[in-house]
A and B are shown apart, each in its own frame.
Chain A
Amino acid sequence: MGSALLPTLRRKPEVDAAIRDTLDKVLVLRFGRADDAACLHLDDILAKSSWDISRFATVALVDMDSEEMQVYIDYFDITLVPATIFFFNAQHMKMDSGTPDHTKWIGSFSSKQDFIDVVEAIFRGAMKGKLIVSCPLPPERIPKFQLLFKDMTELYEAMFRQKSL
């Protein structure tokens, strides 16, 4: 539903234009794919709150599956979806949320208000000339991510190898 309400960018020039031409507003780009459960949840939150934040932010979705988007996926090193990236005046805005990665928000938000708070913090920081802001959310509401193996056989194999070395 969310993906139907928000503009979806599929080509690189579209994303370029969105980043370059969104002036004095926060641009929220959601990298993901519409058939993903977490993405759907995030899209829903984005779509619902896009009107509330429309005076200081614009929200757009980016379809990760298109071939042209690989440039951006490589640049932002996107491995986990959904990944939300913030821009202000063609500048990439970073957020220190206690996670290993400051360059993007990984996962969904627990509520609409959380998302609005995050975007507002970024907008306020950007208007003060800050390229990195700290996350206004309490740590328990920030999605954590860890590394895990695809299946345990690989893990055991890796362990075994290490022992044998």
Chain B
Amino acid sequence: MPPKRGAAPAAAFEYCELCRRNHDQGRRHRYFPAHRAALAAALSRFRSKLLDLRRALRHPSSAARSRLWCPFCSADLVDLDSRFACSNAIYHLASQDHLNGMKAFLQKHGGGMDQVDSFRISEDELAKWEKCCESSSTEQETSTEGTACQGSSSFGSIPYSAPFETFGVPIIPCGSVALHEQQVMLGTDLFQSAGTKMKGGQLTILGNGPNSSVSCSVHVQQRNSGGNSSQGLKANVHTGAPPPWLEASERDQENESLSGYARPSSRKGKSGKLNPKRVGAAWAERRRAEMEMEKRGELVPETSDSSWLPNFGGVWQSGTRKESRKEFEKNHKPHEEKSNKLSLEMKPYISKRMFC
């Protein structure tokens, strides 16, 4: 051991990019706690970025272009000219170079070869993504030929593209709206870039407005800004889609039996004074009746999560044991007699069959 260590030092000073320091410990360095911590941090950071990327992979869109630093290949993956988000990064992660780079990296820094697959994109996924991209691009082309920049369906993208008079920058008309991805919110005309920070696929630009001195920031999400105008199928508030909070109660709305309950409850209390033509008056009365019933335990609240429990009634829900016993006896006595009779009638029949 000692001669080896003696022979090495002159040549063996090397730079570890994870720990950002020069060391002469040779291959022992990768077992050091500091190095291991740095490696784990780098890998987890990359993994979280990869999660965002996988979202883009599943739903290819032309929005939210993000920059990705590949720590294995020391490459900055920026895509400026591609039509779909993160395409450069996706192609890189699926490539053989990336695989080789990753293997070399893991060999050099330790960290287990079993993780290789989690840091790259498989060919199947790539093929799927490409297929999605093709289909969506053909969709876009066909629909932009028709009504590309009509007001109603393209609410999300076009009205936002207000003229940049304040900046003296020429406007790009609706035809290239598909290129607009990042929406930035400013104060009216004074724009002081207080700071920018990149966070995954999100860009935050802080600008101070003249009046409110409130900094407003941007949430850039992966949205199909061009698609808004071209697809027209996206169900949202602008297209008059059914609201998500009513999805759960669609079944209830068809239930007419509740309307009878709604009437009496609406008379009493403060709702009697309210304008009967107010927004959602019918809803309020129906829902109030439902909530009352839920409180009394007559109606089981509609919940779809795993914490749902059935209504056991009786002592489990309300009242004393005695009450629940009486209730049980009242409900079950006639039924028992009936069943006894039935069983008596059944016996001879069974016996007949047995004899035959």
The chain A residues found within 8 Å of chain B, CB to CB, are 12-13, 15-16, 19-21, 23-24, 32-33, 36-39, 41, 64, 71-81, 88-93, 100-101, 103, 106-110, 125-131, 140-141, 143-150, 153-155, 157-159, 161-162
A76: chain B residues within 8 A (beta carbon):
236-237
Whether B235 and A143, one on each chain, are in contact in the complex, defined by CB atoms closer than 8 angstroms, is no
Is chain B's binding surface mostly helix, strand, loop or mixed? loop
Whether B279 and A93, one on each chain, are in contact in the complex, defined by CB atoms closer than 8 angstroms, is yes
Which of B181, B183, B214, B279 has a CB less than 8 Å from the CB of A145? B183
Q: A126-B278, A126-B279 are in contact. List 13 more A-B contacts (CB 8 A).
A: A12-B244, A20-B249, A38-B216, A64-B219, A73-B221, A75-B244, A76-B237, A89-B283, A130-B279, A143-B216, A145-B185, A146-B185, A150-B181
Rounded to whole angstroms, the CA-CA distance of A52 and B175 in the bound complex is 48
Whether A38 and B214, one on each chain, are in contact in the complex, defined by CB atoms closer than 8 angstroms, is yes
Whether B160 and A145, one on each chain, are in contact in the complex, defined by CB atoms closer than 8 angstroms, is yes
Whether A103 and B212, one on each chain, are in contact in the complex, defined by CB atoms closer than 8 angstroms, is no
A106: chain B residues within 8 A (beta carbon):
185
B169: chain A residues within 8 A (beta carbon):
155
Is residue B305 within 8 Å, beta carbon to beta carbon, of the partner chain? yes
A-B interface contact total, Cβ < 8 Å? 196
Whether A131 and B279, one on each chain, are in contact in the complex, defined by CB atoms closer than 8 angstroms, is yes
B180: chain A residues within 8 A (beta carbon):
147, 149
Whether A127 and B176, one on each chain, are in contact in the complex, defined by CB atoms closer than 8 angstroms, is no
Rounded to whole angstroms, the CA-CA distance of A165 and B216 in the bound complex is 36
Which of A16, A149, A155, A157 has a CB less than 8 Å from the CB of B244? A16
B350: chain A residues within 8 A (beta carbon):
none
10 contacts between A and B (CB under 8 A): A12-B244, A38-B216, A39-B217, A73-B221, A77-B237, A107-B214, A126-B280, A127-B278, A127-B279, A146-B164
Interface 1/0s, chain B 171-204, versus A by CB < 8 A?
Answer: 0100110011111111110000000000000011
Given the known inter-chain contacts A81-B218, A155-B169, please indicate yes or no for A144 contacting B237, CB distance below 8 A.
no
Is residue B220 within 8 Å, beta carbon to beta carbon, of the partner chain? yes
Whether A89 and B280, one on each chain, are in contact in the complex, defined by CB atoms closer than 8 angstroms, is yes
Question: Which residues of B (290-327) have their CB < 8 Å from a CB of A?
Answer: 291, 303-305
Whether A147 and B183, one on each chain, are in contact in the complex, defined by CB atoms closer than 8 angstroms, is yes
Of B39-47, B86-94, B108-116, B269-277, which stretch is located at the interface?
B269-277
> What are the 5 A-B residue pairs with the smallest beta carbon separation, nearest first?
A89-B280, A100-B159, A148-B184, A150-B182, A110-B212
Is residue B161 within 8 Å, beta carbon to beta carbon, of the partner chain? yes
B103: chain A residues within 8 A (beta carbon):
none
Rounded to whole angstroms, the CA-CA distance of A78 and B183 in the bound complex is 11
Given the known inter-chain contacts A75-B235, A153-B80, A158-B172, please indicate yes or no for A110 contacting B211, CB distance below 8 A.
yes
Rounded to whole angstroms, the CA-CA distance of A77 and B275 in the bound complex is 32
Is chain A's binding surface mostly helix, strand, loop or mixed? mixed
A143: chain B residues within 8 A (beta carbon):
185, 187, 209, 212, 214, 216
Interface size class of B (residues with CB under 8 A): 35 or more
B349 to chain A, nearest CB (A): 52
Which of B161, B221, B236, B237 has a CB less than 8 Å from the CB of A147? B161
Which of B183, B185, B279 has a CB less than 8 Å from the CB of A88? B279
Rounded to whole angstroms, the CA-CA distance of A126 and B204 in the bound complex is 35
Is residue B348 within 8 Å, beta carbon to beta carbon, of the partner chain? no
Whether A108 and B212, one on each chain, are in contact in the complex, defined by CB atoms closer than 8 angstroms, is yes
